[in-house]
A and B are shown apart, each in its own frame.
Chain A
Amino acid sequence: SYVLTQPPSVSVAPGKTARVTCGGTNIGIKSVHWYQQKPGQAPILVIYYDSDRPSGIPERFSGSKSGNTATLTISRVEAGDEADYYCQVWDASSDRHWVFGGGTKLTVL
């Protein structure tokens, strides 16, 4: 089955830029979606279709892809951005189901 690989953790100082990566075979031809999950809360969608932001999500959140890696970029990081971030795609193989990455814990120093 399809596997999405994320780094377990990323640390960044306030005001700096955080980049969370998501790797997968041929991810360049898939649409990647990103979720933010704060402790004790349900995930919320922050990026869909690789780089689109739902209404209410700050412009500081952006998405991109290059080669076999998708990246969630958070500019001017704030303390409130500390959370787990998950990428997600559709597995078009014989399994044909939706797959999440293992998640990345973003720590704001």
Chain B
Amino acid sequence: QVQLQESGPGLVKPSETLSLTCTVSGGSVSSYYWSWIRQPPGKGLEWIGYIYDSGSTNYNPSLKSRVTISEDTSKNEVSLKVRSVTAGDTAVYYCARHHFIAATGTGWFDPWGQGTLVTVSS
């Protein structure tokens, strides 16, 4: 079964770029859609964006100007970059397999990685 593990720096300075990696085991990254989702401390979930077909992406309009999601099929990894971060980007960041049904446009997330906390602070 597919398992996901996020990794990356736990502390990022304001105005810098947040970079995270999601390592996928038990399945190929090129076979599925993959999403990033974040959760500020004590708050709810926010979808960031997804990638599929080794390069096609779709982003949350509220973050689109600052976010890039990419894949490395040789390493079976999905990556997230968020530029020009502020304290408002402090959150637990999750990667998840995105079950996207193109015919209806619906989709759900399963499974999820354990998440990684990123704090934006100087």
Q: Which residues of A contact B (CB under 8 A)?
A: 1, 30-31, 33, 35, 41-45, 48-49, 54, 86, 88-90, 92, 95-103
Contacts and interface: CB of A to CB of B under 8 A. Distances in A.
Contacts, number: 62
Nearest to B112: A42
Contacts of A100: 44-47
A22 to B, nearest CB: 12
A43 B45 contact: yes
Interface residues of B, number: 23
Contact of B61 (A33, A54, A95): A95
B60 interface: yes
Nearest to A94: B61
A48 B112 contact: no
29 contacts: A1-B61, A31-B104, A31-B106, A33-B108, A33-B109, A35-B45, A42-B94, A42-B113, A43-B45, A43-B94, A44-B110, A44-B111, A44-B112, A45-B110, A45-B111, A48-B108, A49-B106, A54-B110, A88-B45, A88-B108, A88-B109, A90-B107, A95-B61, A96-B58, A98-B35, A98-B47, A100-B44, A100-B46, A103-B45
